[in-house]
Structure 1
């Protein structure tokens, strides 16, 4: 009987366009990290708002969470929910941290002077803690960038994703639409206050009070707004939704900094509007979209399949690229772009290979073991 219930929980179909949009955003994240090192700060990064892809991921995750699980709780325990989340998230977390550990001592650069003084045992300790997705304290910041996960920087967002999952499963899933709406409004106000005061929402990857506050604020609104959207939205049928939504995501994330150093609030207002209004609109349009051709179906599936592996494996490659940039001061984007393109293509290929040779087989094995 338990096996029958578990199998029943697996059969609900995905939204293919939303899967594809996740892949589009993941690719833009890679381009953001590849151009970030060529800038001098937040004001002049070429892919200036690429970090907002994380906020889009949170909203998309909340929407999919509500769609996939809201009506299953009568047949599912909290324990089974977390088993399914661990099956989905942890295999790539482990691989991403392992790749980061393997490359740690080979990113030879003056930008990380600590690396070659770090003993193996300390690096292994950071890796093992990272496998749990728990953040490491600043005393274990072996790279020197004040990161929760110094072997693979993007792990911070998975930490907050788990927090949102826990809140949903233990508490928020029981909220009525009105109660959830109140929570979303409060979280939206907090998000806007953060963005307008700071000039952006960037942050959340350091284990201190201020950065954890930023991480929680960036998580709470989009995740639970996505959950609310899944409960309230009545998707229609929209043609060419994948194309238009992809273009809208690209415009939002590639938008240059607004307001400059003199008017930080203007950029904060822009990011607030993007997260609070534009991202839910994109998800709604994507959920309403119609796929008419096999080519579009295959493209959305491919992008959706590689999105999570790409997010976890690209940063260990980016570390090498950042080291190369730092060792060749004064490089312009025109000189660096062939290497950046190589990293981008390599990350996509690596993501696909890890998906087929590691992630899917390991998840299949875990489903059998934890069923």
Structure 2
């Protein structure tokens, strides 16, 4: 999800390497769709059939695909002069500053979230909140017994952090083993992971890819299945030179992505497998096509370039800081049952607030912190 900016901000990519601005922008577009998905999810009452941005959860799988593509681009040809520790330091410098901010924000807003939709909160002490926050700083996942909110999240102060946990796992697997594989061997693993993804989506009890944030056997299975295919498919795409050149590539690929995650669910309540099949088609076929179009865009300029850069820079801060606001919004909707117009106005305000907050975090903390950490802990070749 965040590998493109990692390359530029921690000297991961040689100055002679091309920068995929359109892929930056696509990651930003996907982040906005995640925020909208979470806002509308508040009104589903547990029934995904009535969600408006219905397949917004697939943006996470799109993030994984982008990450694999750009991790391979940034690091595949650098292992002669970089060891595992150097690779992990670069990944930590890129991701951890905003992970810490997200955990702090989640802890601060936790005190305002008293609602029946969070069943465990009345019995939580300040010491517990601080402990959960500190564990979140270092990405230690919590079992269900330690969840202080009651939603079975491994990071209950900032739910979306779960995807970073699995991204780290994929990063380690890449660095330790998969980077050494030939393209043929990697393709065999990718095909195997694709079969697992199809099985998960088509035969799940919900008929979708949703899940991965609970620390139990099923949650771990979902999380690993969701990351393994797209991440290593992205690595394979980079190695095979999967690019499609066309005019207005950023606009076209963004439109395809927005449409794909916004379509209503398929099959209704009686044929859930149809929706699972759609999810699998998106992740295995459509998302690689979108990335190939974005990777082939060599002409992003003017307004398109500025938009792509803005959303690309904003993407990770927006993704990792918006959900504490969603907790509050969910509690407010459940407790006050506001009118549709008021709900829409407050929801729009939440999206605007989330963007402003993410931009402030990016400029005031994330970029300065990464620059300092890179200067302190990374040596230029």
Indicate the TM-score class for this superposition, using the shorter chain for normalisation. over 0.9
TM superposition outliers: structure 1 runs of 4+ over 4 Å: 6-10
Partner of 1:117: 123
1:296: Cα distance to partner?
1.3
Deviation string, structure 1 residues 2-32 (Cα, Å, up to 9, x no partner): xxxx958553442000000000000000000
Distance of 2:164 and 2:199 partners within structure 1? 24
Q: Is the 8 A contact 1:237 1:288 kept in 2?
A: yes
Please say if 1:279 is aligned against 2:311. no
Match runs of 1:127-146 below 5 Å? 127-146=133-152
Distance of 1:69 and 1:292 partners within structure 2? 24
Please say if 1:29 is aligned against 2:34. yes
CA RMSD of aligned residues (A): 1.4
Partner of 2:59: 53
Instruction: From the superposition, tell whether residues 7 and 197 of structure 1 become closer, same or farther in structure 2 (CA, over 3 Å).
Output: closer
Please say if 1:210 is aligned against 2:215. no
Match runs of 1:190-339 below 5 Å? 190-198=196-204, 199-329=207-337, 331-332=339-340, 334-339=341-346
1:94: Cα distance to partner?
0.4
Q: Is the 8 A contact 1:28 1:250 kept in 2?
A: yes
Q: What's the TM-score once normalised by structure 1's chain length?
A: 0.96
Partner of 2:4: none
Q: Is the 8 A contact 2:246 2:293 kept in 1?
A: yes
Partner of 1:92: 98
Partner of 1:364: 371
Q: Is the 8 A contact 2:244 2:292 kept in 1?
A: no
Distance of 2:354 and 2:20 partners within structure 1? 25
1:236: Cα distance to partner?
4.8
Match runs of 1:126-205 below 5 Å? 126-198=132-204, 199-205=207-213
1:329: Cα distance to partner?
2.9
1:113: Cα distance to partner?
3.8
Instruction: From the superposition, tell whether residues 342 and 224 of structure 1 become closer, same or farther in structure 2 (CA, over 3 Å).
Output: same
Distance of 1:147 and 1:311 partners within structure 2? 16
Q: Is the 8 A contact 1:240 1:290 kept in 2?
A: no
| Structure 1 gap segments, 5+ residues each | 1-5
Partner of 1:3: none
1:369: Cα distance to partner?
1.7
Q: Is the 8 A contact 2:22 2:300 kept in 1?
A: no
Instruction: From the superposition, tell whether residues 362 and 112 of structure 1 become closer, same or farther in structure 2 (CA, over 3 Å).
Output: same
Single out whichever of 142-151 and 111-120 deviates more from structure 2: 111-120
Q: What's the TM-score once normalised by structure 2's chain length?
A: 0.93
Distance of 2:142 and 2:61 partners within structure 1? 23
Distance of 2:228 and 2:259 partners within structure 1? 24
Q: Secondary structure of the residue that 2:218 maps to in structure 1?
A: helix
| Structure 2 gap segments, 5+ residues each | 1-9
Match runs of 1:8-19 below 5 Å? 9=13, 11=15, 12-19=17-24
Distance of 1:345 and 1:29 partners within structure 2? 14
Distance of 1:221 and 1:331 partners within structure 2? 42
Instruction: From the superposition, tell whether residues 259 and 172 of structure 1 become closer, same or farther in structure 2 (CA, over 3 Å).
Output: same
Deviation string, structure 1 residues 135-181 (Cα, Å, up to 9, x no partner): 11112100000000000000100000000000000000001000000
